[in-house]
Structure formats: structure tokens, C-alpha cells
Amino acid sequence: MMEHRKEQRTGRGRRVSRPLYFASACVALGCAWGAWPADATSSWTAIGPEGGRVAALVADPVDPQVVYAVTGSAGVFKSSDGGASWRQASRGLTDSELVALAVDQVVPGTLYAASSFGVFVSRDGAATWMPAEPFSLWQDEFPQSLASDPARAGTVYAATFDGVWVSNDAGASWTQTLGLGGVIRLVSDPARSSVFALSGRLGSLRLFESADGGATWKDRSASLPKLTYGDLTFGFAVEPAAPGILYIALTHVDFDSGTKVLQTLRSSDGAASWQAAGTGSEPVAASAGGLVVAGGFKSSDHGASWQPVGELPDAVAAYAIAAGGSKVYAGGATRGVLASADGARSWQVMSKGLTATSVLALAVDPFASDPHSPAWLYAAVENLGLLRSRNGGSRWRPLDTGLEAPTRNDFYALAAHPAAPGNLYYFSHAVLESSTDAGASWTQLGKPHCVTIDALSPDPSAPAVLYAAGSLNCGQGCGGAFKSTDRAASWSCLGVAAYQIAVAPSAPATLYALAPSPPSGNFLYRSTDSGRTWVPLEVPRRLARGAAARYGHLAVAVDPWNAARLYVGGPTGVWMSQDGGESWSRKDHGLPHGVAAPLLAIDPHQPLTLYAAAAEVGVFRSRDGGDSWQPIRDGLPDASDVYTTLAVDPGHPGSLYLAIAGSGIYSFSSP
């Protein structure tokens, strides 16, 4: 199960702007996808990196080769070959945070998925999804767990923090039948033709069972141990072919000593009594053949004896056991799906096609890319570190450099130098490092004092020149913009507050800085002398109001052939200037309105071709300098997280890359 509350990912603590020298990015946004006409026949293709966080796994109750993985931001993935390969199975899932998945125990191919938008249903084995009931049903308490009735077609149960709801028509309508507070786990028991609801709250457990489609519930809590612990987390599983064999895997903390206690409880009589059965904790799963996995332990004899599982190459959030017990699956925290074919004694990563990695920054090496060879890509991946692909994303390899892996709560920046092949800059965990050999080795650099870097902007005409923009951590009488002319050995203050600097590729002495909007309303500045002096630019009032309301929700892109031509995107639209920001015209016909700034990119081969992207809206293209826009969204996941980078490949005309925090990287090639 995944946590049902959504994380806020905007503001100063969330950095997603990752520019190349001709493209800028800013914090992405969320809004509903509209009905715009398609622009091209080409579609987006997921190119990895493979893996990511798998929060829940559900094995088909009949077919041992079918298993589903719930990744949250990237939606649902399905394997039909025992985990050997995966394909995305989220078409129609319009929410970016799934919390639960259940397979109908009676009707083959029917599944239910829960999110903060409500419950979705699929009747074709997760090929497509349709909303079953809007989230307003839950009265602000979103579903946290799902289960289908093992004896009644179309009967599905959903648990919120207020209790259990039941639908007898495949999710079209719901009735609350059990008032029960706390975290609730729902589990179907085919051997008893019933459904259990286990609730944990304030260090206590309560268990209920319904055998009549949720019409009535029997309290099975009397025999549960009386816990005097807090910080309770737990998992719950039943053996599907053994009536009355249940497992509760607990992690709780002793109030007196503060000791963390791991415990597995087992009942062989339908919860009439419970016995301590081991020290395994959640997650837990059980098979019809008596194989049980709980935390770091397993049992092959219905919980009578326990042994440690084989060494796992990743932290595990979920288990599932294939029908018949032929294979055990584990949902990893970073590497996707792990699988064992020998009863959890040994494990291997099986994430081919599962692209749920959280890519926080992406860079294209412009000089390592040319029309006759694949693009070289670099990706900063949450909890995995820096990865590199030398073939346009077909294969990814970690750069084993000892660099700290980025996290979503950290500040990070990644840039490839447009004037020096193989030269990279990477900022994470308050450390700035550079590489001159395409990431094979790294050297720690000095960074501006008291600055947390949001964006790095190399000068395309001078390999030794680098600009850094960010936020100050101490008062030193300087803004957040700095410049180095000696490969970051020393830095000078540029005297302007900025969280991003865009260098004009055709005239590198011309810079544009996006700054926090002060009371005067100036948030855009221009320098024509490499940052020595700055001029505040007047912008349309609507754009200024949007900038003041949403700090950081802006993007700027400079025409690669004309330093005076630039675009700025904000909550009130996209605007273009042809005179260095002295005057502006609106350029967003066909773009959705009322949203935060999109990512912006300009094709260096065709400067009138622009791209704009925003999470849950998709990607748009303009081929007339912003006069009109059309969506190019085919192939992108319906359920998606923050868009972090939009980059045009300077060595391959028409090639575009989109990095998503939670859904990997997608590539697009214009027809």
C-alpha cells in the first residue's frame, strides 16, 4: 500500500529547473488535460532508466505468469511472462498517485485501482482504465486499500481512514458498511469466501471479517494480543487455499525502552487464537503451498519454522507470490522488481521495461551527439546517482564515481558544457563537482560561499566560464548569482538575485536572469556585458502578477541564433520579446491557461520550433515561433509526476527528451 496523502512538490524546497545552454526549465505543474487536436503521428517512447520505486505488487490469482506492479507516479506496470519483461498498463489512469490495486477474484481480467481521485476499473487486464466513482464519494478521506470479494463478481471493498466501503456494481456506487478508524488493510480470503479488515491505530489492532459481501461484519479482535506500543506499522496476509491461516507482521516501538520490536503473528483457526511465529516484519505475503515471506524472513511450512531470505539487492516495500507459489516478487525502493524462483533464497532484478525511476535532472552532451552516432545522455536519478547512456537511452550504466545520489528534498543541478565535449558539472548535497571525461571521474570544485545552487549555466564560448544561480544561506550582501572564469576555482558575485541564468548562445555576453519578484515587480534582468551590469526589464502586468504569486514558477528560453529574441513562460501564459525584453507579445494560442510555467525549449536547428511541457498537461509544439501550439502527447504516461527537464538534442534534429520525476525519460523524434 502507498501513503494516500500527496507530497507538495513546489516552492523553494523543490528544485526541478534543469537548463541546457539553449533551453530552460522550471518547476512543473499540474492541471487537467484538455481536448486539443493531435499534432503528429510520432509518439513518445520510454527509454529508461529501468527500475524505480514499486510500492505494491499483485499477483494474478489464476495465471502464475501475470503480475502487476504499482509504482505510484508512473502508474501500473504488467508482466505476462513471470516478470521477465514489463509494459506500462496505465492508459486512462489520470491521477499521479495510485494507492492500491486489486484483481477481481471472480471475473478474469477485471482490476480495480484506487487513487485520490477515487476508484478506477479495468475490464481488459489493465490495458485500459475508466473511472468508476469520483473522489467526492470519500468526503476528503481517500481510499487507502482495496480488496475484491472472492465469491461475488463485481463486489469490491475500499478502506479509508474512516472505515470500509463496499460496492456491488464494480465501483459504480458505494455504501459504508463498517465504521473503523486508523490504517486499514483489506485482504480477501478465498478459502473462507470472506474478506478481512485489519485496523491499526494508537498501538492497538482490531480485526473484522465479512462473509456476506460486506453486509455484516464479525469482530475477530478478542484474541489479538494487547499491545502497549506506539508507532505501529503492520502487514496482513492469508493463505488462499488453507481456511483460517492468517499472518500479521508488525513493527512497533516499546514506549518504555524505545526498542523497535519486529514480530510475526500466526492464526490457524480464522483469528480465534494467535501465536508468535517469528521476528519478520511487514511487508508479508503468503501462498497456497505454504510459502510465507515476512520482512527479511521466509517459511516453507505454513509458518512453523523460519529462515532468513536470501540477500536482497534493494530495500523492499511489498511482496507477492505467484499463483501456485512458483515465484516470489519483491517491490524494491529504487531498482524496481526483484524476483526469486527458489523460494526467496536468491534474488535477481527483473525490471526490463519498468520505467518508474525518478529522474531529477537530464543533460545531453552536445559534442558527443552527432547525426551519425547515438546521443550521449546523463541522468541524475533519485537514490541511484548519476547514470549515463551512450546510445540515446537504449542502455544505461551507473557512473561509479562515489558521488552522492540526489534526493527530491535536496538541491541538485546537472549541466553538460556546450563548448567542451565530455565536460559535466554536478551539484548535490551541497557539493559541486566536475568531470572532463564524460563522467568517468570527478573533481570537487569550490562553490560560492553560502549559496545553494539551483542551476548551472556554462558559457558556450568559453570552457572555463560557468554561472551559478541559487539561494543564499547567509547574509553576505550579494544576490544568488555568481560567475567563475577559472573552472570554479574562484567565484565573483554578479550583484543580482537569481535562481536561473540563461546565456544567449549566439552572443554569450548577453545573459538573462530570473529572480524572486521583489515589491517593485522586477523578476527578469538582462546583462550585455557578461554579468558586470544588469538592467531590470519591464514585463506585461499579467506576467508580473503571476511571477509575484508563484516564486520560481517561470521559465526562460533564448533563441540560439538571436540573443534579443526570448520567451518567458509563467502562470499567465507564454510571452515573447524580439528586442531583448523591452517589449512583449503573447505567444500561447493553443496552450492551456491558468497553470504554472511550462518547461520551455527551442530547437537549435529550427529556431521557430518551440516546445513547452507541463506535468499532467503534456508536451506542446509550435512551429511558427509561438503563434500556435499543438499537443504531442501520444505515448506519455497518463499518470505522471513532476516534469523536470525538457531538452532538444543539438546533434539530432527533431529529437526531444523529457525527464519525469517518477516515470523515467521519454524520447520523441519529429516525423
Residues contacting residue 209 through CB under 8 Å, at least 6 positions apart: 189, 192, 194, 195, 196, 197, 217, 218, 220, 270, 271
What's the rounded Cα separation, in Å, for the pair 620 and 589? Answer: 11
For the chain, residues with pLDDT lower than 50 are 1-40, 135, 519, 548-551
Residue 630 is predicted with a pLDDT of: 93
- Summarised one tens digit per residue, pLDDT across range 350-374 is 999 999 999 999 999 876 656 677 8
State how far the Cα of 382 lies from the Cα of 400, in Å rounded to an integer.
15
Position 383, amino acid: N
Output the pLDDT for position 625. Answer: 94
Q: Mention every residue, 6+ apart, whose C-beta is less than 8 A from residue 244.
A: 191, 192, 267, 268, 269, 270, 271
CA distances from 315 to 92, 296, 331, 559 (A): 30, 10, 8, 45
What per-residue confidence (pLDDT) applies to 373? Answer: 79
Q: What is the pLDDT of residue 36?
A: 35
Nearest to 177 by CA among 188, 168, 190: 168
- CA distance to 182, 228, 253, 257, 309, per residue, from 203 (Å): 10, 6, 9, 15, 28
In order of 189, 306, 447, 620, 628, the CA distances from 444 in angstroms are: 57, 48, 9, 38, 45
Q: What is the pLDDT of residue 662?
A: 87
Rg (CA), the chain: 27
DSSP symbols for 14-58: ------BTTEE----------------S---EE----EE---EEE
The span from the CA of 74 to the CA of 354, in Å, is: 9
C-alpha to C-alpha distance for 30 and 25, rounded to whole angstroms: 15
219 burial level (CB within 10 Å; 0-12, 13-18, 19+): exposed
Sign of the torsion angle spanned by Cα atoms 523, 649, 659, 575 = positive
CA atoms within 13 A on the CB side of 44: 26
Q: Residue 601: its pLDDT value, please?
A: 93
- SS3 assignment, position 182: coil
Is the whole-model pTM more than 0.95? no
The phi, psi pair for 111, rounded to 5°, reads -135, 160
Given this model, what pLDDT does residue 551 score? 46
Percentages (nearest 5) of helix, strand, coil residues in the chain: 0, 40, 55
pLDDT tens per residue across span 158-206: 998 889 999 999 988 889 999 887 889 999 999 999 999 999 876 788 9
Residue 388 DSSP class: E
- The sheet with strand 500-503 has its strands ordered as 500-503, 511-514, 524-527, 535-536
d(CA 279, CA 333): 22
pLDDT of residue 182: 82
> Looking at residue 139, what is its pLDDT?
53
Element (H, E) at 547: helix 541-549
Find all residues with CB under 8 Å of 548, minimum gap 6, and list them. Answer: 517, 521, 523
**Predicted pLDDT of residue 10:** 30
pLDDT, tens digit (0-9, with 9 covering 90-100), for 28-55: 222 332 333 444 457 899 998 999 999 9
Q: Which H/E stretch holds residue 115?
A: strand 111-115
Give dist(CA 504, CA 624) in Å, integer: 20
Nearest to 148 by CA among 161, 138, 158: 158
**DSSP conformation letters of 589-632:** TTS-SS--PPEEEE-SS-TT-EEEEETTTEEEEESSTTS--EE-
Residue 324 φ/ψ, nearest 5 degrees: 90, -5
Q: Tell me, what DSSP letter sits at residue 256?
A: T
